[in-house]
Amino acid sequence: MIGKLKGLVDSYGEDFVILDVNGVGYVVHCSARTLQRLPPPGEATDLAIETHVREDMIRLYGFRSDAEREWFRLLQTVQGVGTRVALGVLSVLEPAALASAIATGDKGAVARAPGVGPRLAARLVAELKDKAPAFAPIDPALVALTGAVEDRTAPQPVADAISALVNLGYPQVQASAAIAAALKSGGEGVEAKVLIRLGLKELAK
C-alpha cells in the first residue's frame, strides 16, 4: 500500500494530478482545495496517500496533510458517503473548518459541498459530532455556546448577537465562534450591541 508520494507535478486533470516519481507517473485524485494549493507542473511536491484497491483497479487519493486524509476516511464511515462526496466536502471545508462545523452542528456549512443535501448533512453532523474534537483543537466554550443556542437556553443577548452576525451574512459557525470570543473579553451580562461590536472585531482579525 502507498502511504506517501514525493515527486514532480507532471500535469493536472479535472480532479487529479499526475505526479512523476522517478519517471513513473501516478494518477492521484484530490479535492479541489488540494489541487489549488499544489505547485505548477515541473515543481516538486509531496502528498499523503490513501490507496483504494478493488478487483478491477487501484485508485490513489492525495492530501496535503495527514489531517485531511483522516477526515477523508472518517467521512466515509457515514452511510451514503463515498470517495466522491468525501472529496467534495474537503473541497469546500478545510479540516479545521470541517471539524468546527461538525462540532458546532453547522449543517448549512456541510451542505455546501457538492452531493451533500440537507438530509445527508444532518446525518454527517449527528454521526461525527462526538469524533470531531479529536481531529482539531475545538474550543469547548464554542461547542457549549452552540449547544445552548440550539437548545434555546443561551442568554437572550448572546442569541441576539449571533443572529445579528448571521443576518449580516456570516456563517453560523463563524458567528458563534466570534461571539464565544467576545464573551471571553466582554464578560458575563454584556449587552447584545456590545457583543456584536466585539464579535465584528474578532471577525475582522
CA-CA distance, 138 to 133, in Å (whole number)? 6
Tell me how far apart the terminal alpha carbons of the chain are, to the nearest angstrom: 43
Please tell me the predicted confidence (pLDDT) of residue 151.
42
CA-CA distance, 13 to 60, in Å (whole number)? 14
Mind listing the pLDDT tens digit for each residue in 176-196?
Answer: 777 877 777 766 667 888 888
CA-CA distance, 196 to 158, in Å (whole number)? 9
Q: Which three cell numbers stand for residue 15?
A: 480532479
User: Using an 8 Å Cβ cutoff, are 152 and 163 in contact?
Assistant: no
Residue 179: which domain range? 140-203
Mind listing the pLDDT tens digit for each residue in 153-162?
Answer: 567 887 888 8
Please tell me the predicted confidence (pLDDT) of residue 169.
83
Mind listing the pLDDT tens digit for each residue in 88-114?
Answer: 999 998 887 888 788 777 888 899 898
User: Which of 75, 102, 135 lies at the terminal end of a domain, its last residue?
Assistant: 135
Total number of domains constituting the chain: 3
Inform me whether the pLDDT recorded for 171 exceeds 50. Answer: yes
Q: pLDDT grade, residue 50 (50/70/90)?
A: very high
Residues 48 and 91 in one domain: no
